[in-house]
Amino acid sequence: MTTNRRRPSGSGDQGAEPDAGGLQRRVLETGARLAPRLRQLADRILTEPQVVADSSLRAAAGRWGIAPAGLSRLARALGYPDYAALRRACRQEADLREQVFASRARAASHRGARRRSGVLAEHVEAAQLNLALLGERVSEADLERTATLMLRAGRVVLVGALSSAALIDYFAYLGTLVFGNWQAAGRSGSPLAAGIAELSARDLVILVSTRPYAQASVDAARQAVERGVPLLVFTDLPTSPVADMADVVFCLPSDGPNLLSSHVAPLVLFEASMAAAMRKAGRRALAHVERLERAYRQAGVYWSERG
């Protein structure tokens, strides 16, 4: 899902029926204005939409140990006229996830597959679900817009901390190989914000941040906004502290059995975006890759049996 967060946006039509993907979109549009407790409740609803979809106002509130008035306030804050409209939106979100599960079950049945058990199978299943949701929520048009942002940038600086740092290193390596004007911020002991200090509106910051959110990443996003640098964000929830600062934001599924958020979806989305950018760049990107590959081989970067 993508959106432009620096254009003023309202809370939606009060009487409109929830649209596909509308729940996440509305949380994204209003997240920065929500009180802390309502933001936490919005996060919970996005994580467990089935609870609201299947429950009355009092039943859902009782399940989560909160006052019913809290859910009613959140519904109105998101632009829904009442809890019933919020419930319909949660049903749409829950239905989407159920359709993904059903599609996978049918595919497994057609292959005659049997459900496996074990740690590896649990991780594979979580990754497959995240990728299926990614495929439902991100369109080819989204990829095209992202590729255009990448290609227009004079310089591209990538920002990520904590568990996102390793992703950023890979993204920077791939971007340098294809285009040459990419770099990862915060390397060689410099702070993340230092990589943004000399950027302008002609450049681009790509930031990856998932729970628990790193303060350094939030500070870097704020600095990009202050300098007028376009900001492309990969995060997990519309209520992420960096989501409302982005020009373009992807809120990606990150659930899994591991200790930290899963990075499978942002990894695949980035690789797909890079492939789209390479296609749009055409011969220019291919020529850069070929030049760099020759230089690497001449410098002995790659192992060779003749070495």
pLDDT digits over 164-177, tens only?
999 999 999 999 99
pLDDT score for 111: 44
Give the residues across from 231 on adjacent strands.
205
Lowest mean pLDDT among 198-202, 257-261, 298-302: 257-261
Q: Write out the residue limits of the CATH 1.10.10.10 domain(s) in the chain.
A: 22-92
Mean pLDDT in residue range 126-150: 92
DSSP string, 94-110: HHHHHHHHHHHHHHHHH
Most confident of 45-54, 133-142, 266-275: 266-275
276 in Cβ contact with 149 (< 8 Å): no
pTM of the model: 0.76
In three-state secondary structure terms, 139 is: coil
pLDDT for 103 beyond 60? no
CA count, 13 A, side-chain hemisphere, 304: 9
How far apart (Å, rounded) are the C-alpha atoms in residues 193 and 36?
26
Q: How confident is the model at residue 7 (pLDDT cuts 50, 70, 90)?
A: very low
What sign for the dihedral angle of Cα 95, 96, 98, 99? positive
Q: How confident is the model at residue 8 (pLDDT cuts 50, 70, 90)?
A: very low
C-alpha distances (whole Å) from 156 to each of 149, 205, 215 are: 10, 6, 21
DSSP string, 227-245: HT--EEEEES-TTSTTGGG
Q: How confident is the model at residue 13 (pLDDT cuts 50, 70, 90)?
A: very low
Q: How confident is the model at residue 17 (pLDDT cuts 50, 70, 90)?
A: very low
How far apart (Å, rounded) are the C-alpha atoms in residues 288 and 291?
5
Q: What is the pLDDT of residues 160-213, one digit of tens each?
A: 999 999 999 999 999 999 999 999 998 877 788 778 999 999 999 999 999 889
Q: What is the pLDDT of residues 220-247, one digit of tens each?
A: 999 999 999 999 999 998 889 999 899 9
Q: Write out the residue limits of the CATH 3.40.50.10490 domain(s) in the chain.
A: 140-298
CATH of 140-298, one of 1.10.40.30, 3.20.20.70, 3.40.50.10490, 2.40.30.10: 3.40.50.10490
Site of tokens 């003023």: 8
Two tokens at 236? 């997990």
Mean residue pLDDT of the chain comes to: 86
Share of the chain above pLDDT 70, in %: 86
What CATH fold (topology level) applies to the domain 22-92? Arc Repressor Mutant, subunit A (1.10.10)
CA angle 62, 67, 69 (to 5 degrees): 125
pLDDT score for 18: 42
